[in-house]
Amino acid sequence: MLLPLLSRPHRVAVLAFDGMAPFELGCVVEFFGLPRPELDVPWYDLTVCAQTLEPLRVVGGFTMQAAHRLDVLAAADTVIVPGVADVRGTVSPELVAALRLAHSRGARMVSICSGAFALAAAGLLDGRAATTHWRYAGLLQERFPAVEVNPSVLYVDGGDVLTSAGSAAGLDLLVHLVRNDHGPNVANAVARRLVIPPHREGGQAQFIEAAVTPVTDDDAVARAMSWALEHLAGPISVADLAGVAHMSERSFIRHFKRQTGTSPLRWVISQRVAASLPMLESTEAPVEEIGAAVGFESPVTFRHHFARAMSTSPSAYRRAFSS
């Protein structure tokens, strides 16, 4: 849902706290604090808020100082909690009250990584699906049993409350917020400037530590994936991939899912879409030819899968990035 036209910028508040890691906060600042006049859309008004105006210690040996307290956070249109200092600790009553007040006013509530623990402590995730870093998913479920924790996805969009998995998954959610607010062309342009993909296939299941053999050049699944990338222009079936891996189809699907977090055919489709992007960006070839060149059977199939992955059409993507 695109942002309504307002007489003022959309106000985003992000929480800073003592002992925080700088990455997630930096991502929020990069997305919403950097002016982007070249996009020709009303951009955001970002404020960094904390419980105290005293210097805050940051992981890495430096300090930072917020200019605003929690009353400003509670008055924002979008509130982002990029983490908590201790996933086993107690969230302060002051922060809980500010989060509840913001939500009751209609603010969009967002967490990155362990920030879900703060939203859960405020009761904002009760009865909802949510995610957090896969390392903390079990603990989040244990501490807050009313939350439906999904440890496999990169983010969960619950409308007024959104949660992301760990660290870099916050980038996926922030791109999603911009896409919801301003449409796919603006979101794609921001992603391009940040040199990140506008959409990632698969969930965080592909990053969860498991007792499996690491993927190497000799690994059967990796060998099949490499073969597929070299043959994207032609038809590729699960049987083909399983044959390259010297596995039965059922065994291959199971191993592939465990190592990548997605199915073989979904992965092939995502690779075909990804292969089409540089051609759309840097050539004038017709969309139909590009779709065929990366293995889609028809222009209709190409447009369908492209739109599902990128939330825009191939032609619109080309217009957004051709310059």
For residue 323, what pLDDT is reported? 47
Helical residues (DSSP H) of the chain, grouped into ranges: 22-32, 70-74, 93-104, 116-121, 137-143, 169-182, 184-193, 220-230, 238-245, 249-260, 264-282, 287-293, 299-310, 314-321
* Chunked mean pLDDT (size 10), the chain, 323 residues: 69 98 96 93 96 97 97 98 97 98 98 98 96 94 94 89 93 93 88 80 53 49 91 95 94 88 89 88 91 95 89 82 55
Residue holding tokens 């998954």? 169
Positive or negative, the CA dihedral 145, 148, 153, 158 is negative
The amino acid at residue 127 is G
In terms of Cβ atoms closer than 10 Å to its own Cβ (0-12, 13-18, 19+), residue 292 is middle
Q: Which of 198, 182, 88 is nearest to 138 (CA)?
A: 88
For residue 210, what pLDDT is reported? 41
Identify the helix (H) or strand (E) that includes residue 58: strand 56-58
Could you give the CA distance from residue 255 to residue 63 in angstroms, rounded to a whole number? 45
Name, in order, each residue with C-beta under 8 angstroms of 313's C-beta and a sequence gap of 6 or more: 303, 306, 307
Could you give the CA distance from residue 293 to residue 278 in angstroms, rounded to a whole number? 12
What is the DSSP secondary-structure string of 207-241?
Answer: GS--SSPPP-TT-HHHHHHHHHHHTTTS---HHHH
For residue 218, what pLDDT is reported? 42
The amino acid at residue 11 is R
For residue 195, what pLDDT is reported? 84
Q: Which of 72, 96, 55 is nearest to 13 (CA)?
A: 72
**Whether the Cβ atoms of residue 309 and residue 176 lie closer than 8 Å to each other:** no
